[in-house]
Structure 1
Amino acid sequence: MRAGETIGGAPGVVPRGETALVTGASGFLGGYVVRDLRAHGYDVIASGRNASALPAGETFVGDLDDLVRADLGRTVDVVVHCAALSSPWGRWAEFEHANVTGTARVLEFARRAGSRRLVHISSPGIYAAPRDRVGIREHDVDPRHPMNGYIRSKLEAEALLQAASAEGGGPEIVILRPRGIIGRGDPSLVPRILRVRERFGIPLMRGGRGLVDLTAVENVALAVRLAAEVPDVHGQAFNITNGDPRPFRAVLEQLLEGLGLEPRYRPVPTAVAYGVAALLETVCGVLPGYPEPPVTRYTVTTIAHSQTLDMSRARELLGYRPQVSLDQSLAEYARV
């Protein structure tokens, strides 16, 4: 199959008269977004590089460089940008191309396609700091010292879109920052934890009391649809979570119990873990192949410290209300 080739397929529902294109549709969140939009009457084009991993139905096969050159022969009313290189470790050039240049490509495509709205999936990793942060609001961002290349790239992508929003003349832009996405098919968050448990034991800092603020993937898909439809939110950024922060240890043990696994902990003082992570990043940063360290400063920060998001803006302006509970999501993952 050639890059840029489209495959026809009926969504199977009565269309609402609008077409949506979802980038990163072969990924975890992107697949859920495609299915949710189709279930609510959109004609959806699922866009991604891996044809075999894209949801059934109409697709665009290619990367974001292919997409920006594409002429689909029709207006694409809504573009949802889920595609990203998401990792706590990697070379800056790769993050820049995937997440900054890639976002610019998607914006250019949305302009050419006559889109009325672009929904961009960003990350609350932009709030990361080695301390407790509770009730973080959307403006509580300090872009001066990003903890890794991924966070820096997300900050730069948001800045690019906010500048375009201020200039006008293109699609309305809405930014979502969903925290800790979990659910059936999660290829990243939970599998990383399980690998660490198996290989080293899960680092447990401060007794595992740090609060984690997770989001069921179905709720993120709901937030995407609201961001595509609700009027008068141009240029806004929204925190998205389940609104149910819990101690890291409690969530972990509930998940492991559902999977029939015993916890394996490695109690570590936070300062020691952070120092070791910093040393490992320095060493791995000069090794051939740039291997990912067993633990990074960002990982330590997310495990050791509380980080919860204030969702007042999403509730008030989008009408967002989580539909799938954290207990349901953890149980659903364990049934996979």
Structure 2
Amino acid sequence: MISVLVTGGLGFIGSYFIEYMLNKYPSLRIVNLDAATYAGNPDNAAAFKNHPHYRWIRGDITNETDIAKAFAEKVDAVVHFAAESHVDRSISAPEQFVRTNVLGTLKLLEAARQAGVKKFVHISTDEVYGSLQAEGFFTEDSPLAPNSPYSASKAGSDLMVRSFFQTYGFPAVITRCSNNYGPRQFPEKLIPTVISRALKNEEIPLYGDGMNVRDWLHVHDHCRAVDLVLRLGKPGEVYNIGGHHEVNNRTLVEMILDLLGKSHSLIKQVPDRLGHDRRYAIDPSKIYAELGWKPEIGLKEGLTSTVAWYSQAGEWLYRIESGKYRFI
């Protein structure tokens, strides 16, 4: 039986990936290393927590003892989602981002190398490339030019992963995705923030002029891509994963309000965020050509289903926003 160690598997994307993989591969075994921090929601594991091929180890990727417990499970591959990921938090507390994203990744890499894992997939972000002007796309060859402590810490972890491939021949692959969305995303992120506030008829803060552009990717499409990279991705390579759904923040908020039947007057412009990148857009042609992946869920379809899920998730939102989900 093949075993995969997933870090951050109680988080939004990590939990979706575990659920996707256990459903697709009945003989696969998943070990989940997650510290259950504020965004590591145990409710996210509800669909698979009792699966016979799933085991959760509560642990921190910066703690060598916790990592050793995970690798004692004799895993064949690693998919590394665990990270501090919120830009606003990184601006107010950058040291934690460096500790988790850079040092934690280093400790995980070294343990994986010593364990002789066959594949290490490092999940990164398009934010490491910095900001684009009105034209063009990020490719895998775009220079790294991070503009926030979060993106700088992710760029640092990417370079650490690259160094292990170059120095040790370690079988690591890097993926860089555009903005993910979907059900169960922690409410600090833009889309769930807009939905939860609109449901309560609260003001929705919009940074600056609202014209910052993001490329949106449904979490299900992202999980499909990571599965392909895990199985078929070439060690030492970088694969950009983008939805090709570019939209500015104001338009996105208005789309969500329209789906909820709420007035655009709920939008309140607030001072812009420090280091706010103007535009992200990914060229995913490499993963199209080499691995045969393309996004399947359009933005309107994905937003409609996401809004519908949150509209029925009052108890989930209450537990998240009040902190009462922490029953472990």
Task: Give the root-mean-square deviation of aligned CA atoms.
Answer: 2.5
Q: Is residue 318 of structure 1 aligned with residue 291 of structure 2?
A: yes
Cα distance in 1, alignment partners of residues 212 and 95 from structure 2: 33
Q: Is residue 84 of structure 1 aligned with residue 83 of structure 2?
A: yes
Q: What letter corresponds to residue 14 of structure 2 in structure 1?
A: G
CA shift for structure 1 position 309: 0.9
Look up the match of 1:216: 218
TM-score by length of 2: 0.78
Q: Give the 5 Å matches for 1:104-183.
A: 104-129=106-131, 131-132=133-134, 134-143=136-145, 146-170=146-170, 172-183=171-182
CA shift for structure 1 position 164: 0.6
Look up the match of 1:38: 22
> May I ask how many residue pairs the two structures share in their alignment?
285
- How much identity, in percent, do the aligned residues show? 24
Cα distance in 2, alignment partners of residues 324 and 23 from structure 1: 26
CA shift for structure 1 position 47: 1.8
Q: Secondary structure of the residue that 1:160 maps to in structure 2? A: helix
Q: Deviations over 1:184-214 (max 9, x none)?
A: 1121231344688844642462xx5554310
Cα distance in 2, alignment partners of residues 200 and 322 from structure 1: 29
Please list every run of 5 or more consecutive structure 2 residues that lacks an aligned counterpart in the other structure: 310-328
Ranges of 4+ aligned residues in structure 1 off by more than 6 Å:
none
CA shift for structure 1 position 154: 0.7
Q: What letter corresponds to residue 261 of structure 1 in structure 2?
A: K
Cα distance in 1, alignment partners of residues 195 and 301 from structure 2: 19
Look up the match of 2:275: 297
Cα distance in 2, alignment partners of residues 128 and 183 from structure 1: 24
Cα distance in 2, alignment partners of residues 159 and 212 from structure 1: 24
Q: What letter corresponds to residue 274 of structure 2 in structure 1?
A: T
Look up the match of 2:59: 62
Cα distance in 2, alignment partners of residues 161 and 242 from structure 1: 24
Cα distance in 1, alignment partners of residues 67 and 122 from structure 2: 16
Deviates more, 1:321-330 or 1:44-53: 44-53
Cα distance in 1, alignment partners of residues 68 and 252 from structure 2: 45
TM-score by length of 1: 0.77
Cα distance in 2, alignment partners of residues 73 and 128 from structure 1: 38
Cα distance in 2, alignment partners of residues 142 and 62 from structure 1: 30
Q: Secondary structure of the residue that 2:92 maps to in structure 1? A: coil
Q: What letter corresponds to residue 183 of structure 1 in structure 2?
A: G
Please list every run of 5 or more consecutive structure 1 residues that lacks an aligned counterpart in the other structure: 1-16, 278-294
Instruction: Judge conservation of contact 2:183–2:306 (CA < 8 Å) in 1.
Output: yes
Q: Deviations over 1:141-167 (max 9, x none)?
A: 243xx3221111111101111111111
CA shift for structure 1 position 20: 0.7
Instruction: Judge conservation of contact 2:203–2:268 (CA < 8 Å) in 1.
Output: no
CA shift for structure 1 position 137: 1.0
Higher gyration radius (CA): 1
